[in-house]
Structure 1
Amino acid sequence: MRGPVYRGIHLLRGDLGGTVKLLLTSGGVTNASIRSSLETLLDRPVAQCRALVIPTAQWGHPMCGPTSVQGLVAAGDRSKHLSGLGWASVGVLELTALSTIDPQRWVSWVREADVLLVDGGDATYLCHWMRESGLAALLPSLPDTVWVGVSAGSMVMTPRIGNRFVEWPSASDDRTLGVVDFAIFPHLDAFPTNTLAHAERWAAEVGVPAYAIDEETAIRVVDGAVEVVSEGTWQRFEA
């Protein structure tokens, strides 16, 4: 589909239902429609909001590393659709470090943030560290916080990601947090292996309702209501 917005109601499931407001993207805040949706979720302009960037998923993917993380957290092309949107403040929250830090310190950092900017990489690795760090358990107490996911940062909220997207060797399977009841195929038509035909085969494997989304599309989820915001191309697949 191109352009039109889809609105539907889906039951959230898993142990994190009723959690943060979700803006699940493939490539970040890439156009005016997605930015407007973000500011509606925030209930004020980006320039008045405090952000925390979570780069953790990158460490679980073989194509990511210090350079890609630097491009996210510092000024550069990778930051312009996420950390470089003009936030009042931007900090970095590395989940792999949190288990070594007194929760009385880091929990306050998260609670004081208006938005969590969660980058891509490997969603199973991110899922592991969200649980291990305690962030997953904290999310249900943050109903006013906005979660902006990019690629794996969005996929981690789904029930499963499909074996084709698992890159972390220690992953036991493709299951993730299951906050929403649908799966996400990101980067539609961005790579030769991410065509609609590939997405259709992937959707048949995951066995749950699913969306294939391109870089100009986001899925907004608030209180169980799902809305696709797009200036690009996307496709919904039934289970």
Structure 2
Amino acid sequence: MPEAPIKGDGPKYREIYDRLRGEIDAGSYAAGSLLPTEDELQADLGVSRYALREALGMLERQGYIQRRRRAGTRVLARPPKNMFRHAVSSRGELSEFVHHTKIDFGPPTVIVTDGRLARELGCDELRQWYLMEGIRMDPLDNRPIGVVQLYVDATRATIDENTDFGQQPVYEWLRDNHDIRPASVSQDITAVILNETQATVFGEREGGPALRIARRYFDDTQRIFQISVTTHRSEDFVYNLRLQLA
């Protein structure tokens, strides 16, 4: 029986991705089986080929399916339910990660980086930052996947407790509202241990293994204007980087 056509206000490829991932997670498609053809999925879901291929690309990058020309799209062994997979190889996929998880920040506070914090963040000392803290959630199962500290240059933007970033990444909001032009981002991944607060969020023991991901966002003059520091449990986070060599 054909599936109900996808209708909604969000990006169509994301809605297709959510539908197919949910069905794979639920076991509707067994590991090793083939998904329906693109033509069949397109007709059943009532979506464009472009949106369908974007959704299938996301599923493939996250390890749910394998696509082979003339061989079809095969379902792989499903990742453990406590595994969050994030693959990034482009600006678009970084934006995708932000768009497709959710975070509610607490009210901002203004801090000044002392020597220790400046070294930890990889920025200059005595700079003023807005600091916002929150928990990043996987919306499919409403599970915490990261404890976040977000720093924004307080000399170049105005943020208060009523600021609404909407559904866009903060660096895009800064571009649109404060004319800060993002040009590049660097990233460090470090093995750390969970502190008491982080362990409580994840329901784990204090001192358990974790991964700390620090991203520094640079404008077109190569000045850092935003820093995000996210801590993930090491056992349920896979970070995949794909580089184009030719």
Which structure is higher in strand share? 2
Higher relative contact order structure (alpha carbons within 8 Å, sequence separation ≥ 6): 1
Structure whose CA Rg is larger: 2
Same fold (TM over 0.5): no
Q: TM-score, normalised by structure 2?
A: 0.23
Which structure is higher in helix share? 1
Q: TM-score, normalised by structure 1?
A: 0.23
